[in-house]
Amino acid sequence: MKKTLSISESELINAPLLFFIINACQIGVGIHGFQRLIYQDAKQDAWISVIISFIFAHFIVFIMIKTLEMFPSNDLYGIHQEVFGKFIGNFFNLIYIFYSSFAFLVVLKNYIEVINVWIFPNLSATFLGASLLMIVIYAFNGGFRVLVGICFFSFICTLWVPSILFIPMEYSEISQLLPLFDNHLKDIIKGAYAMTFTIIGFEIINIVYPYVKEKNKVQRYVHLGLFATLLLYLSIMLISLTYFSGPQLEKTIWATLNLFSIIKFPFIERVEIITICLWMIIILPNLCLFAWSTHRGVIRMVNISSKKFIWIFSTVMLIFILFIKSRSQINHINNIFSHFGFVVVFVYPLFIYLMALIRNSFLKRKRTN
Amino acid sequence: MKKKKWFLLFVIACLILTACTEYRVLERISLVTLIGYDVEDGDVTATSVVRQINPEFESSIEIHSETAETSKGTRVKTDLQSAKKLMAGQLRVTLFGDDLAKEGIEEAIHTLAMNSEITTSIYLAVVDGKSKTLLEGQYPNIADVGQHIFNLIDHNINQQQMISSTLHEVVRDIYASFRDFALPKVKKSGEYIDISGIALFKDGKMVGSLPASDSFYVLLIRENINDGTLQLVLPGELAESSKNPPNYQPEELPIAIDAIKTKRDLKIINENEIDLSISLDCRLLEIHSSLAISDKKITEKIEKEINKKIESEIERIIKYSQEVNSDIFGFGEHFYAFTRNSKLTEEKWREIYPNLKVNVKIDTEIIRSGVFE
């Protein structure tokens, strides 16, 4: 297939929109219950793990963009083909396609599980999945710029979260954060590793990059987007650590939703139910962009129209949802995904950066000879 | 074009019609507003106050009581009794009979915390006696016993007359390693329901109780408060020092104060000793008219006497909690938080706590005293 992308002017987006894309893609289902995963390792220093994981993410995103800058009009799939040649390149492409669709499945299934546990225990997962996929198909058919618009709305929808979390702070005990740094650095790093499931999403820059108009501003807005996510995660983590006692936090599956459940307004007593329903708008960009990312990879190998692709993709995802049933299965899959995601998002970019450097210097030498 | 329209219609129909998967019509369900648990020969007895909404008449209150092995089992049995589906989403209070409380309520609380239908803001309380007798009693002045008990507990907690006992706080303390929890105690007294005291728990089992009049002190030790009224009886000699000594010589001088702002401060001295200092800004509400409270000297004297009195009361309460070995004030948590590498374990704290030396120091300041001297 074609090696470089030809993107028409009308499909390009402005760099500041990257802020919303990165933010919307990171905030998804992980935020509902990431606290206990990190607490298991880092105990009361879990908030430090959050910061460490974000420092690492900033570094990785920097490397990612450096790699992309070497190939200004190509996404990761194209880079694979250019660096490794067609066959090995396509092999790596397959892995990335698999990663994107796996991420799609995990987000979808986790959200359905939350709805089933908190609101509708008897509603079938297939029905929920099908109706969510309908929306994804509808949005996907609008094209890339519509997806970016959804990201923007999703960001607006997360804005109210920090403000409402001031209410549970009435029950906070600051002393539960103490003693500071009482755990081994190793445990804190382990906690940062457990953040993987929650923090990933920013790797979408690998695919979005060629669509950005002002390439020199990419770094700035991607880092800003990451930083905004850090602020949200950090505030939720700090509130959770002071609100719950440690062993209680370890037993709470969706700590963020539990935080909401103590909030009571005269006009609405169960805020968490509204929250969960609204969360659909927050996970929608996750789903759409992961589907889109899969699509970008697939069209490099198979000639398929986007409409056909999304219908086939959705059907396959729906079939997979049928097979995952119990809570323990979901946990197991989340676990596998977070290990796999760590390799793809945090380790692999370093490798591809090195390979791209070697290739470029090799080409240079060849040209001078 | 026509095909597209039909397709759209089909999708809309699917979405709108299937929205009725799980409907809960208010007239067809009954709302459980309060549940009381008792233990009877190893089985659980659940007494629930159920509100039924009827569009034509006033909503009615029913009380069901069932015995089964698990609390969910009692719910199934109660369901068999009632004409409408029971929903627990409006549950506001859960009561525990004192037999059950002595046996341990950790499992019952675990069940409550597991259920997503129930919010974590419901109140928990212990009943003096059986919760069944409390709920099934006849109260001519109380229309809805569930709502009444909720309001009773809620307004006392909001006015800081009683310790807060939301499900969240109890779950937090039950799983915390260095902290025990306390619950309000309610009691049937004739045709009324009172808050009669505070029940102290250790490892989820009730081990003792304090009278309701002590709740102000317990709050004072536990947290910073800004409300709550306290009556004190000071020694009668204070009256002598007033400018115009009263014609009669009272043996005791009762006064009432109202906390405006308090600040509690804990300071660790060593492993077995802790300083508890509380500064208390208060408002004088009631005092014998002969005392010239505008006189600085007299005010200072009163403050000193208040300090002494509160100190002795607090010492008594702490001593009692040490006797039953229930750290409801969270001293252990403070020890853990403020000592590095403390290696404090739950068992170790259980050994330390009864012998912990607490030096109480109160610093009262009367900052307001009403509009009439």
Question: Which of A177, A245, A258 minimises the CB distance to B176?
Answer: A245
From B340's Cα to the closest Cα of chain A, the distance in A is: 6
* Fold type of domain B223-368: GMP Synthetase; Chain A, domain 3 (3.30.300)
Question: Which of A117, A171, A182 minimises the CB distance to B168?
Answer: A171
Distance in angstroms (rounded) separating the CA atoms of residues A312 and A246:
45
In chain A, what residues touch B334 (CB-CB under 8 Å)?
A: 175
In chain A, what residues touch B175 (CB-CB under 8 Å)?
A: 245-248, 251
Contacts for B372 with CB less than 8 Å, ≥ 6 apart: none
Which amino acid, A60?
A: I
Residue of A nearest to B20 (CA): A123
A235 touches chain B (CB under 8 A): no
Q: What pLDDT, in 10s, does the model give residues A201-234?
A: 999 999 999 999 888 889 999 999 999 999 999 9
The residue of B8, B110, B119 whose CB has the most chain A CBs within 10 angstroms, and thus the best one to mutate to test that interface, is: B119
Q: What pLDDT, in 10s, does the model give residues A161-177?
A: 778 888 888 888 888 88
With CA atoms as reference, report the closest residue to A162 among A228, A244, A96, A242: A228
Distance in angstroms (rounded) separating the CA atoms of residues B262 and B281:
6
From B116's Cα to the closest Cα of chain A, the distance in A is: 6
Hey, what's the torsion of the CAs at A253, A259, A262, A268, to 10 degrees? -100
- The confidence score (pLDDT) of residue A4 equals 61
- Band (pLDDT 50/70/90 cuts) for residue A1 is very low
CB contact under 8 A, A176 and B171: no
A102 has a pLDDT exceeding 90: yes
Distance in angstroms (rounded) separating the CA atoms of residues A135 and B222:
51
**Arithmetic mean of pLDDT, A21-30:** 90
User: Positive or negative, the Cα torsion across B311, B312, B314, B318?
Assistant: positive
Contacts for A129 with CB less than 8 Å, ≥ 6 apart: A108, A112, A317, A318, A321
H-helix or E-strand containing A42?
helix A34-42
From B45's Cα to the closest Cα of chain A, the distance in A is: 26
For chain B, the structural domain boundaries read: 23-211, 223-368
Distance in angstroms (rounded) separating the CA atoms of residues A260 and A240:
11
B166 touches chain A (CB under 8 A): yes
* Cβ neighbour number for residue A109 with a 10 Å cutoff: 23
CA angle A266, B165, B195 (to 5 degrees): 100
Distance in angstroms (rounded) separating the CA atoms of residues A276 and A285:
16
- The confidence score (pLDDT) of residue B124 equals 93
Question: Which of B15, B169, B340 minimises the CB distance to A171?
Answer: B169
- The confidence score (pLDDT) of residue A17 equals 93
> How confident is the prediction for chain A on average, in pLDDT?
89
Distance in angstroms (rounded) separating the CA atoms of residues A68 and A77:
11
CB contact under 8 A, B121 and A182: no
SS3 B201: strand
CB contact under 8 A, A262 and B120: yes
In chain A, what residues touch B89 (CB-CB under 8 Å)?
A: 270
What is the biggest distance separating any 2 CA atoms in chain B, rounded to whole angstroms? 103
- The confidence score (pLDDT) of residue A5 equals 67
From A8's Cα to the closest Cα of chain B, the distance in A is: 29
Distance in angstroms (rounded) separating the CA atoms of residues A198 and A35:
10
DSSP assignment of B291-314 equals S-TTSHHHHHHHHHHHHHHHHHHH
**Token reading at B9:** 């219609």
In chain A, what residues touch B330 (CB-CB under 8 Å)?
A: 173
B338 touches chain A (CB under 8 A): yes
**Arithmetic mean of pLDDT, A96-124:** 91
- Note the ipTM here: 0.81
- The confidence score (pLDDT) of residue A38 equals 92
User: pLDDT tens digits, chain B, 373 residues: what are they?
Assistant: 667 787 787 777 766 665 556 677 777 888 888 989 988 887 888 888 888 877 777 777 888 888 888 777 877 887 777 777 788 888 899 999 988 899 888 888 888 888 888 888 899 999 998 888 888 888 888 888 888 999 999 999 988 888 888 999 999 988 888 888 999 999 988 888 999 999 999 888 999 999 988 888 998 888 888 888 888 888 777 666 655 555 556 677 888 888 888 898 889 888 888 899 999 888 888 887 777 777 788 888 888 888 998 999 999 999 999 999 988 888 888 888 888 777 788 888 888 888 889 999 999 888 887 777 7
H-helix or E-strand containing B20?
none
In order of start, what are the domains of chain A with their CATH numbers?
Answer: 9-368 (1.20.1740.10)
**Arithmetic mean of pLDDT, A9-37:** 89
- The confidence score (pLDDT) of residue B249 equals 62
B-facing residues of A in 153-172 (CB < 8 A) are 171
With CA atoms as reference, report the closest residue to A41 among A208, A190, A199: A190
The residue of B107, B116, B122 whose CB has the most chain A CBs within 10 angstroms, and thus the best one to mutate to test that interface, is: B116
From B120's Cα to the closest Cα of chain A, the distance in A is: 5
Q: What pLDDT, in 10s, does the model give residues A253-277?
A: 899 988 888 888 888 888 888 888 8
In chain B, what residues touch A245 (CB-CB under 8 Å)?
A: 172-173, 175-176, 179
CB contact under 8 A, B21 and A245: no
Distance in angstroms (rounded) separating the CA atoms of residues B149 and B48:
13
